[in-house]
């Protein structure tokens, strides 16, 4: 049966449709693997396959789902102690749509608490280990989804990306991760981190799987999410072999300082490969991109400080025992229920919104956001896509960045510009590179960002690069 | 010498809209449903749930804005008002801040500051000592009411007394009721008013320190509370003290005003634009629908009443803003003979005698048909009925309906003016009191009252007083 | 720069209890992060409109149509404390 593990999700779906693979057997195989997971990638695994809808287009290929997606009757804690034992009475729109399309829920995956983190170390369930090197982090916040897909504990997975939470762990685990255009995928039922930035997307072994999964996540807008949008056209399956006529812009601000030499080397090698495939590769400017991280660390904490106010010990989840009064119930519940990083961001967000500081921080950050979106819009007049590394570093050692919050935040500086602009961005495996001190080579990500709703074309270009790169991630799926 | 002080009063009014469902979710509105049976993930603030604004609530708010002559924003935004309280499930209230739906406007000479949309809080029931847990008292939250659409109407500080505040609020209630957008019931809480009260030296412009009065849940309490607060402030100022800025709670039982105890520091609501909702762009179509739903705008109707019926500005305004009265008045006028010239008298009868008897009831639902009232006014005008007997007839009409002429005939209430019967009664009265007759003849004009009284008693009010006087003078030759 | 009193004030607004040690740590960490964030103060942003929504959409409304509500049992299922068919909390008036 181990041959089944080597099938990509699209291949498995096709094999099921041809009658060569039994979807029940496929589910059981992955269920077994997930249940014996030693990476701490899962927080919950299904007992058995749910009853499949008739003739599902995804055939019944099971799906790993980040903990923060609400799933009816199934633990959904967003990696937090404050939601201890919480089982929602409803299911997130995107999980429901995928189940209807034939991607049944395999299990819930570990994540940084409330999606705040870049290492998956901020989880009430403990850290996830990187299957390439178990002493290292898988990235975050969708670390469980990324590790599960990389290690063959799931055929594919969904996660969420606020400032890089799909792309960065995908890069660090050697898989594909796509953050769609803001609004393309319903946020209904996604436990919010930062509402104006959160977006669900696929984490998959290859570009074709990403396209197939995405095609069932987008479509008609969700009437339950006021910010969701109709996707203008169906997602096309990628097939491109060359890059003739494709113009790639390389922003100098995001391809120089602060990036590990190994990561930069792999990036430049792939630019050369793109040229060989026929692409035009030229440098471009995103003048405000260096300020994106600062703006992001105002906007996201501000929104999270408000989004997380509902965790008050009144209606669900954890409540501190024997409170003296209402105030102490609130304060102790939230102290004990939230982890250190969440508390830090709630404090930061409360501070920047508080009386007298709004305009200096939140107001300015929103204006920086306008400038960043304008920078991208200008770049897309000359280029089809802007490309840069996904993460400035390969997977780092567990615990190595916990002492300095800002050092951890710096992991996001290549991914947050596209988040602030609300545009789609994709990370594909870009080979391996050794960490700065030397050692076993680890996965690197190559990132593309495109105009809103350019997902099909972006996946098509990524497919051509993927085929030419020929990355093999099978080693960690044993 | 103590300077004279003038009270300055502003009202902040909350109106529950009579939509079928809540402001941001599809739960039905129902007063008095069993606790916690009208909730869903959205109005319980469950993780992952998102608000979507109710189109009819916006429609109703636009109707209110149009009816009150507000300036309607073509772009309006919801904000989050952040604070913790058990009746606030998300830890923030979705409200409007610096971009409300309506600004300005005016009703009965009192200008409005703004009109905006928001969601209501849930109901918190204090259990008191009986419900102790771990020695502290408990409260129970019922989320049925939470999320009910509210329109907040804020006046400029232009009211001058408790009585003025009550009268004005009563007019506002009538206006809102006639629009059909709310039950506007103060006892049930669908209409709630807080008052800001301050005093300033008469004729000066700057406002004094204001206090906020809450919990006045009837028109009578509003008047009493505001009056009591004006007196309290006057006593403080006249005693050389200073009014403290605070929130006061009116106790209807004792009439006392007590400071609302608060353990909290000053509020800092950290308003920021609600990222889960998109702006409201008031379209021409939305405006057209709102306009059509209210028919003629009250202000325009007032102008028409003044112009077409020669009513005073005050009367025209009263009838126009209480559209039920305006409709009734117009129906009665239409039932009158053409060019009867009775419009002013009809207006007086509708706004005076009729309202004095039925209060805020819609006269169209009373037993008095507009045609009956028109007939009544015609009879008075033709001196076939005195004002006094006409009021008696109105009482009968209200009791059991019918035609005024029939009632007059049946009860023998027709006026005795210009009638030999009256002359005989006058002669009898003169004969019965020769002393008084002599005094009148001698030029003592006041003595005539002693002769009029018995005539009026004998005729049971059917005689016109001036006619009786005339006959007495004729018969006595003065 | 953020000080101890500011941290305590913000923690109260956010309803977060912090131990003395946590307050000290927060003073340093928030101060450090804010130092980096404050670089946006140097940008010339005069006349630049703020972005709240990256996509220009308005009036995403719902019709006033009822949807099924949860049963009381479902609503109260996750509540830490229940009494009298409602969510029980320490009284704010206590």
Mean pLDDT across chain A: 96
Three-state SS across chain A?
CHHHHCCCHHHHHHHHHCCCCCHHHHHHHHHHHHHCCCCCCEEEECCCCCCCCCCCCCCCCCEEEECCECECCECCCCCCHHHCCCCCCCCCHHHHHHHHHCCCEEEEECCCHHHCCCCCCCCCCCCCCECCECCECCCCCCHHHHHHHHCCCCCEEEEEECCCCCHHHHHHHCCEEEECCCCCCCCCCECCCCCCCCEEEEEECCHHHHHHHHHCCCCCCCCCCCCCCCCCCCCCCCCCCCCCCCEEEEEHHHCCCCCCHHHHHHHHHHHHHHHHCCCEEEEECCCCHHHHHHHHHHHHHHHHHHHHHHCCCCCCCCCCCCCCCHHHHHHHHHHHHCCHHHHHHHHHHHHHHCCCCHHHHHHHHHHHHHHHHHHHHHHHHHCCEEEEECCCCCCCECCCCCCCHHHHHHHHCCCHHHHHHCCCEEEEEEEEECCCCCCCCEEEEEEEECCCCCHHHHHHHHHHHHHHHCCCCHHHHC
pLDDT at residue A367 tops 50: yes
Nearest chain A residue (CA) to C91: A326
- Decide: A405 and A452 in contact? Cβ < 8 Å: no
Residue A344 touches partner C, C-beta closer than 8 Å:
yes
What's the CA gap between A46 and A31, in Å, rounded?
A: 7
Three-state SS across B179-200?
HCCCCCCCCCCCEEEEEEEEEE
In a domain, A91, yes or no: yes
Neighbors of chain C with 3 or more C-beta pairs under 8 Å: A, B
Q: CB B138 to CB C52 under 8 A?
A: no
| CATH number of the domain residue A151 falls in | 3.90.1300.10
- Decide: B342 and B336 in contact? Cβ < 8 Å: yes
Of B312, B273, B298, residue with least CA distance to B75: B273
Angle, vertex CA A447, rays to CA A445 and CA A449, nearest 5: 165
What's the CA gap between C26 and A412, in Å, rounded?
A: 22
Domains by residue range for chain B, with CATH: 5-285 (no CATH), 296-411 (no CATH), 420-476 (1.10.10)
The enclosing H or E element of B300 equals helix B298-309
In a domain, A371, yes or no: no
Residues A70, A35 share a domain: yes
- Decide: B87 and B139 in contact? Cβ < 8 Å: no
In a domain, C83, yes or no: no
Residue B7 touches partner A, C-beta closer than 8 Å:
no
Residues A296, A190 share a domain: no
Q: What pLDDT is attached to residue B263?
A: 43
In a domain, A180, yes or no: yes
Q: At what angle do helices B420-432 and B465-476 cross, to 10 degrees?
A: 60
Residues A121, A54 share a domain: yes
Residue B41 touches partner C, C-beta closer than 8 Å:
yes
Is A239 tagged catalytic? no
Of A75, A80, A110, residue with least CA distance to A337: A80
Task: Give the pLDDT confidence of A369-390 residue by residue, as tens digits.
Answer: 999 999 999 999 999 999 999 9
Residues A201, A74 share a domain: yes
Name the percent of chain C lying above pLDDT 90. Answer: 87
In Å, how far are B366, B378, B385, B399 from B348, measured between CA atoms? 18, 13, 16, 21
Q: Residue B50 carries which DSSP code?
A: -
Nearest C-alpha of chain A: how many angstroms from C6?
A: 9
In a domain, C28, yes or no: yes
Residue A146: band (very low, low, confident or very high) from pLDDT cuts 50, 70, 90: very high
| Chain B CB contacts of A325 below 8 Å | 136
Is A478 tagged catalytic? no
Angle, vertex CA B154, rays to CA B150 and CA B158, nearest 5: 155
Residue B55 touches partner C, C-beta closer than 8 Å:
yes
Q: CB C90 to CB B138 under 8 A?
A: yes
- Decide: A176 and A210 in contact? Cβ < 8 Å: yes
Q: CB A422 to CB C60 under 8 A?
A: no
In a domain, A261, yes or no: no
Which of A311, A315, A354 has its CB closest to that of B268? A354
Beta bridge pairs of residue C90? B138
Q: Residue B112 carries which DSSP code?
A: E
Residue B278 touches partner A, C-beta closer than 8 Å:
yes
Residues A346, A442 share a domain: no
What's the CA gap between B348 and A170, in Å, rounded?
A: 80
Is the N-terminal amide bond of A141 cis, ω within 30° of 0? yes
Residues A134, A234 share a domain: yes
In Å, how far are A384, B425, B449, B454, B468 from B429, measured between CA atoms? 110, 6, 11, 7, 11
In a domain, C26, yes or no: yes
Q: CB B86 to CB A362 under 8 A?
A: no
Residue A452 touches partner C, C-beta closer than 8 Å:
yes
Residues A460, A388 share a domain: yes
Number of Cβ within a 10 Å radius of residue B246: 13
Q: What pLDDT is attached to residue B448?
A: 87
Q: CB C86 to CB B280 under 8 A?
A: no
In a domain, C58, yes or no: no
Sign of torsion over alpha carbons B334, B335, B341, B347:
negative
What residue numbers bound the domain in which A294 lies? 290-364
In a domain, A375, yes or no: no
Of A93, A97, A124, A99, residue with least CA distance to A110: A124
What six digits make up the tokens of C55? 């996509």
Q: Mean pLDDT throughout A238-267?
A: 96
Q: CB C48 to CB A330 under 8 A?
A: no
In Å, how far are A114, A399, B196, B217 from A81, measured between CA atoms? 10, 20, 44, 43
Task: Give the pLDDT confidence of A259-311 residue by residue, as tens digits.
Answer: 999 999 999 999 999 999 999 999 999 999 999 999 999 999 999 999 999 99
- C-contacting residues of B 207-266, CB under 8 Å? 261, 265
Neighbors of chain A with 3 or more C-beta pairs under 8 Å: B, C
The catalytically annotated residue of A10, A118, A145, A165 is A165
Residue B275 touches partner C, C-beta closer than 8 Å:
yes
Is A78 tagged catalytic? no
Residues A184, A41 share a domain: yes
- B-contacting residues of C 38-67, CB under 8 Å? 52-53, 57-67
Q: What pLDDT is attached to residue B25?
A: 98
**DSSP string covering B354-367:** IHHHHTTS-GGGSS
Residue A188 touches partner B, C-beta closer than 8 Å:
yes
Residues in chain B, pLDDT under 50: 1, 131-134, 263-264
Nearest C-alpha of chain A: how many angstroms from B260?
A: 17
Count: domains in chain A: 2
What's the CA gap between B171 and B318, in Å, rounded?
A: 8
Task: Tell me which of B407 and A232 has the higher pLDDT.
Answer: A232
pLDDT at residue A230 tops 80: yes
Beta bridge pairs of residue B112? B155
The enclosing H or E element of B138 equals strand B136-142
In a domain, C86, yes or no: no
ipTM of the complex: 0.97
| CATH number of the domain residue C32 falls in | 1.10.20.60
What's the CA gap between B419 and B460, in Å, rounded?
A: 15
In Å, how far are A195, B22, B139, B417 from B40, measured between CA atoms? 20, 11, 21, 72
Residues A159, A124 share a domain: yes
In a domain, C76, yes or no: no
- C-contacting residues of B 96-125, CB under 8 Å? 124-125
Q: What pLDDT is attached to residue B133?
A: 47
Coil vs helix vs strand at C52: coil
CB pairs under 8 A between A and B: 109
What's the CA gap between B194 and B40, in Å, rounded?
A: 30
- Decide: B11 and B193 in contact? Cβ < 8 Å: yes
What six digits make up the tokens of A428? 């594909």
What's the CA gap between C40 and C42, in Å, rounded?
A: 5
The catalytically annotated residue of A66, A108, A179, A401 is A66
Q: CB B277 to CB A306 under 8 A?
A: no
What residue numbers bound the domain in which C11 lies? 1-43
Q: What pLDDT is attached to residue B467?
A: 81
**DSSP string covering B221-278:** HHHHHHHHHHHHHHHHHHTT--PPP-EEEEETTTTEEEEPP--SPSP----EE-TTSP
Residue A315 touches partner C, C-beta closer than 8 Å:
yes
Nearest chain C residue (CA) to A367: C50
Count: domains in chain C: 1
Which of C60, C70, C87 has its CB closest to that of B40? C70
Task: Give the pLDDT confidence of B137-173 residue by residue, as tens digits.
Answer: 899 999 999 999 999 999 999 999 999 999 999 889 9
| Chain B CB contacts of A323 below 8 Å | 134, 136
What's the CA gap between B55 and B53, in Å, rounded?
A: 6
Q: Give the CA-trace dihedral at A98, A100, A104, A105, to 10 degrees.
A: 60
Q: What pLDDT is attached to residue B369?
A: 94
In a domain, C69, yes or no: no
Nearest chain B residue (CA) to A302: B272
In a domain, A62, yes or no: yes
Residues A187, A129 share a domain: yes
Q: Residues 6 or more apart from B328 whose CB is under 8 A from it?
A: B350, B354, B362, B363, B364, B370
Nearest chain B residue (CA) to C94: B137
Count of alpha carbons within 13 angstroms of residue B400, beta-carbon side: 5
Task: Give the pLDDT confidence of A152-168 residue by residue, as tens digits.
Answer: 999 999 999 999 999 99
- B-contacting residues of A 194-223, CB under 8 Å? 194-196, 223
In a domain, C49, yes or no: no
Residue B168 touches partner A, C-beta closer than 8 Å:
no
pLDDT at residue A2 tops 60: no
Of A95, A158, A413, residue with least CA distance to A263: A413
Nearest C-alpha of chain B: how many angstroms from A192?
A: 6
Which of C9, C26, C90 has its CB closest to that of A326? C90
Question: Exposed e or buried b for every residue in A306-317, given b needs 16+ CB within 10 A?
Answer: bbbbbbbbbbbb
What's the CA gap between B161 and B184, in Å, rounded?
A: 22
In a domain, A152, yes or no: yes
Q: Residue B219 carries which DSSP code?
A: H
């Amino acid at each position: 049966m181990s041959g089944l593990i080597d099938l990509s999700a699209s291949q498995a779906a096709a094999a099921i449709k041809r009658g060569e693979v039994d979807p029940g057997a496929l589910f059981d195989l992955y269920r077994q693997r997930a249940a014996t997971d030693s990476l701490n990638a899962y927080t919950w695994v299904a007992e058995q396959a749910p009853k499949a809808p008739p003739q599902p287009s995804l055939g019944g290929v099971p799906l790993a789902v980040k903990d923060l997606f609400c799933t009816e009757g199934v633990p959904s804690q967003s990696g937090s102690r404050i939601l201890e034992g919480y089982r929602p009475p409803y299911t997130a729109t995107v999980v429901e749509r995928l189940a209807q399309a034939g991607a049944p829920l395999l299990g819930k995956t570990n994540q940084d608490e409330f999606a705040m983190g870049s290492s998956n170390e901020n989880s009430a369930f403990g850290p996830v280990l990187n299957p390439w090197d178990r002493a290292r982090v898988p990235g975050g916040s969708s670390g469980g989804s990324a590790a599960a897909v990389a290690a063959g504990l799931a055929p594919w997975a969904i996660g969420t990306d606020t400032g890089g939470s799909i792309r960065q762990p995908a890069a660090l685990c050697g898989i594909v991760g796509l953050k769609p255009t803001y609004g393309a995928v319903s946020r209904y039922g996604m436990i919010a981190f930062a509402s104006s930035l959160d977006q669900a997307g696929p984490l998959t072994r290859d570009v074709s799987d990403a396209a197939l999964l995405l095609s069932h996540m987008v479509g008609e807008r969700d009437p339950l999410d006021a910010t969701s949008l109709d996707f203008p056209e169906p997602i096309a399956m990628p097939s491109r072999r060359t890059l003739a006529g494709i113009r790639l812009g390389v922003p100098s601000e995001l391809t120089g300082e602060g990036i590990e030499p190994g990561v930069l080397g792999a990036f430049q090698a792939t630019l050369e490969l793109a040229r060989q495939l026929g692409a035009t590769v030229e440098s471009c400017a995103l003048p405000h991109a260096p300020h994106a991280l600062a703006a992001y660390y105002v906007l996201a904490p501000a929104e999270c400080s408000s989004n997380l106010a509902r965790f008050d010990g009144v209606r669900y989840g954890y409540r501190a025992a024997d409170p003296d009064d209402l105030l102490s119930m609130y304060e102790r519940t939230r102290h004990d229920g939230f982890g250190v990083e969440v508390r830090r961001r709630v404090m930061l967000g409360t501070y920047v919104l508080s009386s007298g500081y709004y305009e200096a921080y939140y107001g300015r950050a929103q204006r920086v956001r306008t400038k960043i979106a304008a920078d991208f819009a200008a770049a897309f007049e000359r280029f089809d896509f802007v490309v840069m590394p996904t993460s400035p570093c390969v997977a780092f050692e567990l615990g190595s960045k916990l002492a300095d919050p800002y050092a951890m935040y710096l992991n996001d500086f290549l991914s947050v510009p596209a988040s602030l602009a609300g545009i789609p961005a994709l990370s594909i495996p870009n080979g391996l590179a050794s960490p700065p001190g030397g050692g076993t080579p680890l996965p690197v990500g190559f990132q593309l960002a495109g105009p809103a709703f350019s997902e099909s074309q972006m996946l098509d270009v990524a497919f051509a690069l993927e085929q030419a790169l020929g990355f093999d991630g099978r080693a960690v799926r044993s | 010498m103590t300077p004279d002080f003038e009270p300055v009063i502003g009202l902040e009014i909350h109106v529950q809209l009579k939509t079928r469902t809540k402001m941001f979710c599809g739960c039905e509105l129902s007063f008095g449903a069993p606790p916690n049976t009208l909730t869903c993930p959205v109005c319980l603030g469950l993780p992952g749930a998102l608000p979507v604004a109710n189109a009819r609530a916006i429609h109703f708010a636009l109707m209110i804005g149009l009816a009150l002559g507000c300036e309607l924003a073509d772009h309006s935004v919801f904000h989050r008002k952040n604070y913790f309280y058990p009746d606030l499930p998300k830890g923030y209230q979705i409200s409007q801040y610096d971009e409300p739906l309506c600004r300005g406007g005016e009703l009965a000479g009192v200008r409005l500051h703004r009109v905006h949309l928001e969601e209501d809080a849930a109901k918190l029931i204090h259990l008191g000592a009986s419900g102790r847990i771990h020695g502290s008292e408990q409260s129970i939250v019922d989320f049925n009411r939470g999320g009910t659409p509210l329109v907040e109407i804020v006046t400029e500080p232009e009211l001058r007394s408790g009585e003025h505040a009550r009268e004005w609020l009563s007019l506002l209630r009538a206006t809102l009721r006639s629009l059909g957008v709310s039950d506007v019931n103060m006892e049930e809480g669908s209409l709630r008013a807080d008052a800001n009260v301050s005093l300033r030296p008469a004729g000066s412009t700057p406002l004094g320190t204001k206090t906020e009065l809450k919990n006045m849940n009837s028109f009578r309490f509003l008047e009493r509370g505001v009056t009591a607060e004006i007196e309290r402030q006057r006593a403080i100022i006249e005693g050389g003290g200073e009014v403290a800025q605070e929130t006061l709670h009116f106790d209807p039982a004792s009439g006392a005003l007590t400071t609302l105890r608060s353990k909290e520091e000053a509020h800092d609501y950290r308003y920021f634009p609600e990222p889960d909702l998109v702006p409201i762009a008031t379209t021409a179509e939305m405006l057209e629908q709102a306009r059509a739903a209210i028919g003629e705008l009250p202000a325009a109707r007032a102008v028409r009443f003044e112009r077409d019926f020669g009513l005073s500005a005050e009367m025209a305004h009263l009838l126009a803003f209480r559209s039920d009265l305006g409709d009734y008045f117009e129906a009665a006028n239409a039932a009158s003979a053409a060019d009867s010239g009775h419009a002013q008298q009809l207006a007086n009868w509708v706004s005076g005698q009729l309202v004095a008897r039925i209060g805020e009831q819609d006269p169209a639902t009373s037993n008095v048909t507009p045609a009956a009232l028109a007939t009544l006014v015609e009879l008075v005008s033709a001196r076939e009925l005195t004002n006094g007997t006409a009021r008696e007839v109105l009482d009968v009409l209200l009791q059991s309906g019918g035609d005024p002429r029939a009632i007059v005939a049946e009860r023998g209430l027709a006026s005795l003016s210009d009638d030999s019967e009256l002359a005989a009664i006058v002669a009898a009265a003169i004969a019965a009191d020769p002393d008084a007759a002599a005094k009148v003849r001698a030029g003592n004009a006041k003595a005539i009252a002693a002769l009029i009284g018995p005539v009026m008693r004998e005729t049971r009010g059917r005689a016109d007083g001036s006619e009786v006087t005339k006959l007495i003078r004729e018969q006595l030759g003065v | 720069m953020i000080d101890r009193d500011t941290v305590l004030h913000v923690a109260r607004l956010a309803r977060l209890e912090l131990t003395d040690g946590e307050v000290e740590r927060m003073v340093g960490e928030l101060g450090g992060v804010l130092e980096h964030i404050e670089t946006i103060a140097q940008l010339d942003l005069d006349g630049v409109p703020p972005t709240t929504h990256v996509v220009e959409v308005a009036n995403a409304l719902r019709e006033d149509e009822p949807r099924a509500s949860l049963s009381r049992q479902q609503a109260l299922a996750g509540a830490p404390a229940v009494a009298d068919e409602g969510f029980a909390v320490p009284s704010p008036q206590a």
